[in-house]
Amino acid sequence: TSPSRRPSAKTAAAQVTAAKAAPFTKAVPAKKAGSRSAPAAVAEAQKRADRAAAASAAPGGDAKILQLNAHRVDKLDTTLTTDQGIRVEDTDNSLRAGPRGPSLLEDFHHREKITRFDHERIPERVVHARGSGAHGYFQPYDTSLARYTAANFLTDPDVRTPVFVRFSTVQGSRGSTDTPRDVRGFSIKFYTGQGVYDFVGNNMPVFFIQDGIKFPDVIHAVKPEPHNEIPQAASAHDTFWDFVTLQPETMHHVIWLMSDRALPRSFRTMQGFGVHTFRLVAADGTRTFVKFHWTPLAGVHSLVWDEAQKISGKDPDFNRRDLWESIEAGNYPEYELGVQLIAESDEFAFDDIDLLDSTKIIPEEVVPVVPVGRLVLDRNPDNFFAETEQVAFCLQNVVPGIDFTDDPLLQSRLFSYLDTQLTRLGGPNFAQIPINRSLAPVRNHQQDGFHQHEIPLGQANYHPNSLGGGCPVVPGAGGGAFVHTPEHVDGIKERKRSETFADHYSQATLFWNSMAAWEKQHIIAAYRFELGKVTRPHIRQLMVEHLNQIDHQLAVAVAAGIGVPSPAAGPPNPGRMSPALSQASMPGSTGVIGRKVAILVADGVEAASLETVRDGLTAAGAVVELLGLVDGAVNTADGAALPVDRAMNTVASVLYDAVVVADGDAALDQLVSDGYAVHFVAEAYKHAKALGVLGVGDRLVQAARLPVYEASDRIAGPASKPSAGALDGVVFLAPDTDADQQFVDEMVIAIAAHRHYDRPVDGIAA
């Protein structure tokens, strides 16, 4: 048992004696609570608590799921009642004085139903309002972190800690699109045996500002403008760029925002970062600085901007749907936790980086990322509001073994998160909401307030007390308590930014230098788009001057796109790179699990190759859908009816990772004369997606005027030529060959590579 559990009568009596003996101003030392108090015993008890909390192999789910089960309500086979349990006679007609007469006030069911409806909404999060959640678990690989941290959930490979994760966008309202150009939130609530630990990070490793006092400013600037509340979920407007140009510490984060990192293909394919430097604290008190990294096993992949904008209309729930469907299909998203560790004695070992400055990274080439465990998301929430909306992440929720640093951005956050939940969730008892409840016992003298769900027993609601047996006992440092890092602090009280925070450009340059050619093109296009929406010329001009500090070529390229004169040469670019920053140099996905493939079909389609390809890609883990010109079924060339999954006009190429055009002359006669089908292929090609062409399906490629046609001609040539082959992610199966399996293999490689940016796409109308 944990020392904070309600003690047995015998222990309580011992504590009364102890409490009487001790001066009342002192905490009752844990060692008075009996043999459990020795630190080793406490550590052992905590280990057991952790393991109990993590008994995820238990039938019916892990300990958190079992805890939540007590609150789940099933409406099946039940009878309609009021909130008071009174059975309802009729919920379709209000009580009236005659069928056409006035409604009567005494109709309590009518009033209750309307009142409850009127009060369904709570304030949305002031940032990160749009989000999606999932349950899962975290498990360390081994004990390797035990030298650094006393946090058992990070060091005991037998502990599977239940988690709830919420991904989010920052700028938009709760109902806004999933695919704006934006930062993504990456929050994890760990229900550990030592209490709740909240990780509240983003998918980018740096932040816009260095001091939390600027947070209201940067958020006001990026949110819809105050006079007309336009634009929704977009940074491409005057106030954002006005702020950015006047606050140069934003430059590093802004170049990340202009990169493809701001357009994740899926929550499954984005990284997560703790951003700040935190501390790990070992059982012996040794402290180590740490940066947290989460890396998805499905690879780090992004959308392209044109695609992201179209998805906002075609399926604004694109990322949420993908997360939900992946978990439903058993394709559980998985992320590896990695840590960068820096000995406390090395705090000042970096010439150009202050560990307390959240606008800086520590390049992985300088301090490697060590993998320590994995996070698996394996269960969708039962109810969006109860779980995903009411979950309350608070940066200050840490467990023993993890501690903060003096990063001034972090310090502000320690205040803000708890504070914001008070309004959002209507009072101080939000930690009792089922999704927020700790698995470790919660016992203290905090009381009352709105929505108190517990019924505290006893007379003593203060400490120290003798009337309650001195309980809850204050366990003290040796009793498994969280102990703030003891640290000497000395300073002059002043409002002053450290001079070590002064460099705002060199890591933006590092990021730029580390990009592949296509990533640089996307970044230039993003700056041109965003600044192109800025109506004030002086803001565009000033931004080009900032870009010139980052890299002259970048500034020249952006200036040329937004009607600003080319700047004079800027400071020299030292050319330093950090390859780990480029998505191009990251390991791609290990396969095509959960990737969506559309096969375009019409009446007269050749079934044999189509079925091999569909079954082969499905077996590899892809989600394959047959799209017809209309819904229902198509007749194959053999006269069989083949059901289609969707009509083409209800979806779009932007909702798929790859497109395959089926074989069959009659089918192609229809597809080439349907503008939607032609556009479907052209758009997928333009967005650099894998494209598969079966047999005479290349007639659609010709109709779309794709530049690969000549290559396909070569590949589809005489039998001496290869019968299947890929070119820039376009995979052909020559007519009348039986290389179907080879085609599938090539297609898997092309889809796993995600995008094929070397294609000449500028001239393609789509």
Closest CA to 583 of 205, 260, 185, 253: 260
Counting contacts by CB under 6 A, is residue 305 touching ligand HDD?
no
- The Cα 608–Cα 740 span in angstroms is 9
**Distant-in-sequence contacts of 145-148, Cβ < 8 A, 24+ apart:** 145/280, 145/339, 145/372, 146/282, 147/282, 147/286, 148/280, 148/282, 148/286, 148/288, 148/290, 148/341
Helix (H, G, I), strand (E, B) or coil at 307: helix
Q: Smallest distance, Å, CB 56 to ligand HDD?
A: 23
Print the binding letters for residues 464-503 with ligand HDD: x by CB under 6 A, - otherwise.
----------------------------------------
Q: Is 463 a catalytic residue?
A: no
One residue of 61, 136, 172, 185 binding ligand HDD per CB under 6 A: 185
Residue 305 in contact with residue 526, Cβ under 8 Å? Answer: yes
Given the residues 109, 128, 237, 253, the one annotated as active site: 128
- Residue owning tokens 């958020």: 219
- Number of chain residues interacting with ligand HDD (CB under 6 A): 25
Is 279 a known ligand-binding residue? no
Counting contacts by CB under 6 A, is residue 152 touching ligand HDD?
no
Closest CA to 505 of 493, 517, 513, 497: 513
- Torsion angle in degrees (nearest 10) through CA of 133, 134, 135, 138: -100
- The Cα 170–Cα 159 span in angstroms is 33
Q: Cis bond leading into 472, ω under 30°?
A: yes
Counting contacts by CB under 6 A, is residue 412 touching ligand HDD?
yes
Please count the CA atoms within 13 angstroms of the CA of 554 that sit on its side-chain side: 31
Which of 5-13, 258-266, 321-329, 405-413 is the region at the interface with ligand HDD (rule: CB under 6 A)?
405-413
Of residues 202-261, those binding ligand HDD (CB under 6 A): 202, 207, 212, 215
Between 50 and 389, whose beta carbon lies closer to ligand HDD? 389
Residue 64 in contact with residue 164, Cβ under 8 Å? Answer: yes
Between 218 and 599, whose beta carbon lies closer to ligand HDD? 218
Q: Is 202 a catalytic residue?
A: yes
Counting contacts by CB under 6 A, is residue 409 touching ligand HDD?
yes
Which of 51-59, 201-209, 370-378, 573-581 is the region at the interface with ligand HDD (rule: CB under 6 A)?
201-209
Counting contacts by CB under 6 A, is residue 511 touching ligand HDD?
no
Is 714 a known ligand-binding residue? no
Residue 662 in contact with residue 677, Cβ under 8 Å? Answer: no
- The Cα 294–Cα 621 span in angstroms is 23
One residue of 153, 289, 393, 757 binding ligand HDD per CB under 6 A: 393
Print the binding letters for residues 317-356 with ligand HDD: x by CB under 6 A, - otherwise.
----------------------------------------
Which of 292-300, 408-416, 426-434, 714-722 is the region at the interface with ligand HDD (rule: CB under 6 A)?
408-416
Name the residue with the smallest CB distance to ligand HDD: 185
Print the binding letters for residues 76-115 with ligand HDD: x by CB under 6 A, - otherwise.
----------------------------------------
Is 335 a known ligand-binding residue? no
Print the binding letters for residues 122-141 with ligand HDD: x by CB under 6 A, - otherwise.
---xxxx--x----------
Q: What angle do CA 390, 396, 399 make, to 5 degrees?
A: 100
Residue 569 in contact with residue 549, Cβ under 8 Å? Answer: no
Enter the tokens of residue 284: 């012996």
- The Cα 483–Cα 494 span in angstroms is 28
Pairing of strands 287-296, 272-273: antiparallel
Q: Smallest distance, Å, CB 452 to ligand HDD?
A: 21
Print the binding letters for residues 274-293 with ligand HDD: x by CB under 6 A, - otherwise.
-xx-----------------
Counting contacts by CB under 6 A, is residue 644 touching ligand HDD?
no
Give 76: exposed, middle or buried? Use CB within 10 Å, 0-12, 13-18, 19+.
exposed
Q: Smallest distance, Å, CB 122 to ligand HDD?
A: 12
- The Cα 731–Cα 718 span in angstroms is 17
Is 265 a known ligand-binding residue? no
Q: Smallest distance, Å, CB 388 to ligand HDD?
A: 8
Given the residues 109, 152, 202, 548, the one annotated as active site: 202
Is 166 a known ligand-binding residue? yes
- Torsion angle in degrees (nearest 10) through CA of 129, 134, 140, 145: 10
Closest CA to 746 of 620, 608, 601, 587: 620
One residue of 37, 46, 176, 187 binding ligand HDD per CB under 6 A: 187
SS3 of 493-540: the string is CCCCCCHHHCCCCHHHHHHHHCCCHHHHHHHHHHHHHHHHCCCCHHHH
Q: What are phi and psi of 681, to 5 degrees?
A: -70, -45
Between 212 and 692, whose beta carbon lies closer to ligand HDD? 212
Q: Smallest distance, Å, CB 417 to ligand HDD?
A: 4
Active site residues: 128, 202
Q: Which residues here bind ligand HDD, judged by CB under 6 A?
A: 125-128, 131, 166, 168, 185, 187, 200-202, 207, 212, 215, 275-276, 358, 393, 409, 412-413, 416-417, 420
Q: Which residues participate in the annotated binding site?
A: 125, 166, 215, 413, 417, 424
Q: Which residues are annotated as a binding site for heme?
A: 125, 166, 215, 413, 417, 424
